Structure 1
Amino acid sequence: MNIIEIHVEGGILFMGILFFLLIGVIATSVLVIKNKADQPKAKKWLKISQEIALFALVFGILGQLVGLVGAFQAIEQVGEVSQALLAGGLKVSSYTTLYGFFIFLLAKLFKIGFQFTRK
């Protein structure tokens, strides 16, 4: 399974927004590096990067909760479902949370690296 299939299977709305949040974290991280000499400006961009990353984490969890509610509604309508079908639904609902965590960890690693290299 490639990354595009995961984006589609995880829900194009939530995964698409998370992708743009990833681009935002990368862009603000580049601005931190670009403005490294100007500490106040670099700190401002670093804070924005961290806020975007935190939003991505929470948004990923929201995506999972929305997916779970939809899955539980479908199970309620159908009645009994197999364990394999339930496990597959839980796996798919976890994609947004994993993506949000990935974005969050990437931004945190960048922050640690930036603080380690600065004077």
Structure 2
Amino acid sequence: MMDLFYMGGPLFMGILSLILLVVVGLMLAFGGSMLKGKLLPDAQINLVKSVGLFALIVGLLGQLIGLFSAFQAIELGAVNVSPALLAGGFKVSMITTIYGVLIYVFSFIGWFGLNWYSTRKLA
């Protein structure tokens, strides 16, 4: 697991990990408030999904910056490119995107649960 973290780049993987912690913290805080009987406005519940979407965007940005750097090195002729090397580079560049998508899916499931529990309390 740590190998993927370092392969994906500590900067973007670290940022995505912090975003994951924020999503988990929001879900726990909002869920705890709802269990105490407090109704939350939709804007607060939607914050969980919005932070997850931000993780997806950061993951895509990490991939694009990685690909840009790789293509720049290829353009300058600093690297002799074989198909296997290019495929390996694409695979590594997708690590941040996959992590961002997983965080978004997790936040979407959390948003769905909070939203469902909120509407159930209103009924």
Alpha-carbon RMSD = 1.5
Equivalents in 2 of 1:16, 1:94: separation in Å?
A: 15
Count of aligned residue pairs for this structure pair? 116
Consecutive unaligned residues in structure 1, runs of 5 or more: none
**TM-score when normalising by structure 2:** 0.86
* SS, match of residue 40 in structure 2: helix
Note if contact 1:29-1:45 (Cα within 8 Å) is conserved in structure 2: no
Instruction: Tell me which residue corresponds to 2:71.
Output: 72
Instruction: Tell me which residue corresponds to 2:15.
Output: 17
Note if contact 2:27-2:48 (Cα within 8 Å) is conserved in structure 1: yes
Note if contact 2:48-2:108 (Cα within 8 Å) is conserved in structure 1: no
- Give the 5 Å matches for 1:1-119: 3-36=1-34, 37-40=37-40, 43-78=42-77, 80-118=80-118, 119=120
Runs ≥4 residues deviating over 6 A: none
Consecutive unaligned residues in structure 2, runs of 5 or more: none
Rg bigger for which structure?
A: 2
| Paired amino acid for 1:28 | L
Equivalents in 2 of 1:73, 1:58: separation in Å?
A: 22
